[in-house]
C-alpha cells in the first residue's frame, strides 16, 4: 500500500483539517450519546456482512463508523484527505485491527487490495465525479462484496447533497441488488428529529 499527502481540503472546498478537532461534537459524528451510538451500531450490523470482513471506510473522518465496525469484528482500512482527521481516527482506533491512510476517496491509495465492503458516509455527494467514484469503488470489491453508502440532502432552504433516486440511478448500470433504507424517521440516529432526506444504499453489484 502507498500513501500520499492530503491538504485537508475536501472536494467540497471545506477545510476539514480545521473542522477535525470539533467534528465529533455533533451527535451523529462523534456517536458519544449511548442512544445515538446504539442506533448506528444496529444499522451498521444490519448493513455489513454477518462474518468478520475487510471494510474500506472512505472519507472516514475521525473514524466513528470505523470504530463501530471494528467493535463488530471487522478489519478496517480508512482513507481521508485530511491529515488531521486521519490522526484522530488513528487515535480512536489505537490497538484495533485498523489502518488509516491519507488520500482521495475517489482513488484511494490501496494498491491492489480488495475489500468485502466499501463504506462511505456523507462524502459521495461532495465528489466532483460521483459516477466515476462509484465505478472505482465497485472495482475495489471482492466478488459478492457490497457498497454501503450513507447520504442525504441536508437543509430545506439551500439543500445540499444527493437524493436517493439520483444515487440509485448512478448505480443502475452495474446491475445487481440495490436497497435503499430511509433514515430520516429514526431520530435516534441524529440525536434529534430531522425533516430532510437521509438514507443508506446497500448495493451488491452484479
Ligand atoms: C462529513 S465528514 C464524514 C466523515 C465520516 N465519513 C463520518 O461519517 O463520520 C466528510 C469527510 O470526508 C473527507 N473528505 C472530503 N472530501 C474527500 C475526498 N475527496 N477524499 C477523501 N476524503 C474526503 C473530509 O476530510 C471529512 O473527513
Region of poorest pLDDT, from 22-31, 154-163, 196-205? 154-163
pLDDT tens-digit profile of 23-32? 999 999 999 9
Ligand 1 contacts CB of residue 61 (under 6 A): yes
Q: Which atom of ligand 1 is nearest to the CA of 17?
A: 25
- Residue 1 binned pLDDT confidence (cut-offs 50, 70, 90): very low
pLDDT tens-digit profile of 169-196? 999 999 999 999 999 999 999 999 999 9
Ligand 1 contacts CB of residue 108 (under 6 A): no
Task: Decide if pLDDT at 3 tops 70.
Answer: no
C-alpha 115 to ligand 1 mean position (Å): 19
C-alpha 123 to ligand 1 mean position (Å): 5
- Residue 155 binned pLDDT confidence (cut-offs 50, 70, 90): confident
Ligand 1 contacts CB of residue 146 (under 6 A): no
C-alpha 43 to ligand 1 mean position (Å): 20
What pLDDT sits at residue 48?
A: 98
Task: Decide if pLDDT at 80 tops 70.
Answer: yes
- How would DSSP label each residue in the chain? -------SB-TTS-BHHHHHHHHTTSHHHH--SHHHHHHHHHHHHHHS-SS--EEEEET-TTSHHHHHHHHTT-EEEEEES-HHHHHHHHHHTTTSSEEEEES-TTS-S-TT--EEEEEEES-GGGSS-HHHHHHHHHHTEEEEEEEEEEEEEE-SSS-EE--HHHHHHHHGGG-SEEEEEE-TT-HHHHTS---SEEEEEEEE--
Please say whether the beta carbons of 61 and 67 come within 8 A. no
Q: Which atom of ligand 1 is nearest to the CA of 126?
A: 16
Ligand 1 contacts CB of residue 104 (under 6 A): yes
Please say whether the beta carbons of 109 and 4 come within 8 A. yes
Ligand 1 contacts CB of residue 36 (under 6 A): no
- Residue 117 binned pLDDT confidence (cut-offs 50, 70, 90): very high
Write the residue with the smallest CA distance to atom 1 of ligand 1. Answer: 122
Task: Decide if pLDDT at 81 tops 80.
Answer: yes
Domains of the chain in sequence order: 16-105+120-204 (3.40.50.150)
What pLDDT sits at residue 4?
A: 34
Task: Decide if pLDDT at 5 tops 70.
Answer: no
Q: Is the pTM of this model over 0.85?
A: yes
C-alpha cell at 197: 432526506
What pLDDT sits at residue 9?
A: 61
Q: What mean pLDDT comes out for the span 57-61?
A: 98
C-alpha 82 to ligand 1 mean position (Å): 8
Ligand 1 contacts CB of residue 100 (under 6 A): no
Amino acid at each position: 500500500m502507498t500513501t500520499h499527502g492530503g491538504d485537508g481540503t475536501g472536494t467540497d472546498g471545506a477545510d476539514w483539517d480545521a473542522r477535525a478537532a470539533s467534528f465529533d461534537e455533533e451527535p451523529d459524528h462523534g456517536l458519544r450519546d449511548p442512544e445515538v451510538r446504539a442506533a448506528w451500531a444496529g444499522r451498521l450490523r444490519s448493513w455489513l456482512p454477518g462474518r468478520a470482513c475487510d471494510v474500506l471506510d472512505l472519507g472516514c473522518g475521525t473514524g466513528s463508523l470505523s470504530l463501530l465496525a471494528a467493535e463488530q469484528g471487522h478489519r478496517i482500512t480508512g482513507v481521508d484527505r485530511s491529515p488531521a482527521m486521519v490522526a484522530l481516527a488513528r487515535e480512536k482506533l489505537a490497538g484495533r485491527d485498523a489502518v488509516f491512510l491519507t488520500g482521495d476517496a475517489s482513488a484511494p491509495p490501496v494498491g491492489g487490495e480488495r475489500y468485502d465492503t466499501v463504506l462511505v458516509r456523507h462524502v459521495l455527494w461532495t465528489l466532483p465525479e460521483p459516477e466515476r467514484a462509484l465505478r472505482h469503488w465497485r472495482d475495489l470489491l471482492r466478488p459478492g462484496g457490497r457498497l454501503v453508502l450513507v447520504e442525504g440532502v441536508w437543509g430545506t432552504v439551500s439543500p445540499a447533497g444527493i437524493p436517493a433516486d439520483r444515487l440509485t440511478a448512478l448505480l443502475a448500470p452495474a446491475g445487481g441488488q440495490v436497497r435503499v433504507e430511509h433514515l430520516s424517521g429514526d431520530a435516534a440516529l441524529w440525536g434529534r428529529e430531522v425533516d430532510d432526506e437521509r438514507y443508506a444504499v446497500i448495493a451488491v453489484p452484479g
